[in-house]
């Protein structure tokens, strides 16, 4: 069970307040602008800047 | 109806969320899992809730999330989150209190200007009174907190009143008097007492044990939140107590009865910021919103004891 669309709709990147989207493996939310991944653990989106993982590219 | 519960994984927030779900509300819960106490306890608090499709949960901080998006479609806010702890609020720590208790509340109120809600119920605290001479404590008494924590709760409460007067945000503040029951925070007296008793350790009591509190069971607190949403006039402040004043020594006597044995007690020096007595005058809450506490200290203690017993034996979840 992934997180619901309803929940996704009320989430934004806590750093830039911009849009985020579910990654392919559906275990994280990505902010392209900040290049950050917010993990989803046990179906709980962890929307804390300190916990976000930088996306390498 | 859709509700936002802040501090939803905490002691009161989790009980309140369960109650709202039973009332057929949708609940969005947010909690930052501050490392004030073990994460596993908070996870257990919401384990049942999370099975319910009407409950959505976000790990996040009110200081960081996009509040306007969060409030999208929300009808009522129950603002329960706060950095707790009277004794820890001195010194360097105060920033944590001013950020999470004052600033976070102000940001939420600001967001309500753009995303109106039907009611904004704020969890205030009897600690705003401090060592007042007036007993029972009246909502109209001059607040005089004796801890930085109390100052932060009062500041946020004043902001709620201001945002009602200036912007019409329909805030209601509930001054909770020492809340107890299942899921009580591990730093709180009853939780510690039961745990020590179960581990055959002496109970450490600050002072002579003759300090008294108007102990309030969490079920009564939850009910008061609902009544505040349904019936309270905006801009108002209400005392929410348990209906009687009990000393810590009396509580320990009741605990002995519950456990069916003697308990060793070590009395220690008093702590800065501790108040001697609290007692709520609940005339206003009774008359204006129909609040009447239902859980006696004897029955209430039993619910907490059963829960701590499970916690100590490792059967946490419920
Ligand atoms: Zn971003």
Q: How far is CA B163 from the centre of its chain?
A: 22
Query: pLDDT (tens digit, 0 to 9) for every residue of chain A, 57 residues total?
Result: 578 999 999 999 999 999 999 999 999 999 999 999 999 999 999 999 999 999 986
**B66–A49 CB contact, under 8 Å:** no
Q: Is B303 within a domain?
A: no
- Helix boundaries (H) for chain B: 11-22, 39-45, 67-70, 94-97, 104-114, 148-167, 189-198, 218-231, 248-259, 283-289, 297-312
- Option in B50, B57, B66 nearest A12 (CB): B66
In a domain, B247, yes or no: no
The overall average pLDDT reported for chain B is 95
Which residues in A lie closer than 8 A to residue B28 (C-beta atoms)?
A: 7, 10
**Residue B88 carries which DSSP code?**
G
Element (H, E) at B58: strand B55-60
Inform me whether the pLDDT recorded for B274 exceeds 90. Answer: no
Question: In which domain, by residue range, is B30 found?
Answer: 2-180+217-242+277-293
Tell me if B234 is assigned to some domain: yes
- Give the DSSP letter of residue B200: T
Q: Max Cα separation, chain B?
A: 58
Q: Per the domain annotation, does B84 fall within a domain?
A: yes
Nearest-by-Cβ selection for B61 from A7, A11, A48:
A48
Residue B92 domain-assigned (yes or no): yes
Q: Among B51, B14, B66, B82, which residue's Cα sits nearest to residue A29?
A: B66
pLDDT for residue B307: 96
Residue B71 forms part of a structural domain? yes
Token digits of residue B153? 């709760």
* Structural domains of chain B, count: 1
Predicted TM-score (pTM) of the model is 0.96
What does the alpha-carbon distance between residue B7 and residue B1 come to, in Å, rounded to a whole number? 19
Contact residues on chain B for A16, CB-CB shorter than 8 A = none
pLDDT, position B318: 44
Give the Cβ contact number of residue B182 at 10 Å.
Answer: 22
Per annotation, catalytic residue among B97, B122, B149, B180 = B149
Strand pairing category for A36-41 and A44-47: antiparallel
Q: What is the ipTM of this complex?
A: 0.96
Cα distance from A4 to chain B (closest Cα, Å)?
8
The string over B218-236, giving b where at least 16 C-beta atoms fall within 10 Å of a residue's C-beta and e elsewhere, is: bbbbbbbbbbbbeebebbb
The pLDDT tens digits of the residues spanning B126-183 come to 999 998 888 899 999 999 999 999 999 999 999 999 999 999 999 999 999 999 999 9
pLDDT at B263: 96
Phi, psi of A33 (to 5 degrees): -65, -50
pLDDT band for position B271 (50/70/90)? confident
Please say if B149 is a catalytic residue.
yes
Domains and CATH numbers, chain A: 5-54 (2.20.25.10)
Task: Give me the CATH number covering residue B9.
Answer: 3.40.50.720
């Amino acid at each position: 069970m992934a997180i619901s669309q309803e929940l996704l709709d009320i989430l934004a990147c806590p750093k830039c307040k911009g849009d985020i989207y579910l990654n392919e493996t559906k275990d994280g939310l990505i902010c392209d602008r900040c290049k950050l991944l917010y993990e989803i653990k046990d179906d709980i989106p962890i929307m804390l800047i300190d916990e976000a993982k930088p996306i390498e590219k | 109806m859709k509700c936002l519960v802040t501090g939803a994984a905490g002691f009161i927030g989790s009980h309140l969320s369960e109650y709202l779900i039973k009332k057929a509300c949708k609940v969005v819960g947010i909690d930052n899992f501050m490392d004030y106490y073990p994460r596993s306890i908070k996870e257990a608090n919401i384990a049942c809730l999370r099975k319910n499709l009407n409950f959505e949960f976000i790990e996040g901080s009110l200081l960081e999330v996009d509040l306007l998006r969060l409030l999208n479609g929300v009808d009522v806010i129950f603002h329960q989150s706060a950095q707790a702890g009277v004794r820890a609020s001195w010194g360097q720590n105060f920033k944590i209190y001013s950020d999470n208790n004052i600033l976070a509340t102000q940001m939420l109120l600001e967001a309500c200007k753009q995303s109106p809600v039907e009611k904004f119920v704020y969890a205030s605290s009897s600690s705003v009174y401090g060592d007042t001479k007036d007993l029972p404590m009246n909502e109209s008494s001059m607040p005089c907190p004796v801890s930085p924590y109390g100052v932060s709760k009062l500041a946020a409460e004043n902001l709620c009143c201001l945002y009602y007067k200036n912007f019409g945000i329909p805030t209601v503040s509930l001054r909770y008097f020492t809340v107890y029951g299942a899921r009580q925070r591990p730093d709180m007296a009853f939780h510690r007492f039961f745990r020590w008793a179960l581990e055959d350790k002496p109970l450490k009591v600050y002072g002579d044990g003759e300090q008294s509190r108007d102990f309030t069971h969490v079920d009564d607190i939850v009910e008061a939140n609902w009544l505040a949403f349904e019936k309270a006039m905006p801009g108002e402040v209400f005392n929410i107590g348990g209906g009687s004043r009990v000393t810590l020594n009396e509580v320990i006597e009741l605990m002995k009865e519950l456990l069916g044995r003697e308990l060793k007690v070590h009395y220690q020096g008093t702590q800065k910021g501790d108040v001697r007595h609290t007692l709520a005058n609940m005339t206003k809450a009774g008359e204006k919103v129909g609040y009447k506490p239902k859980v006696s200290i004897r029955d209430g203690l039993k619910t907490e004891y059963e829960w701590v017993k499970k916690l100590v034996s490792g059967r946490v979840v419920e």
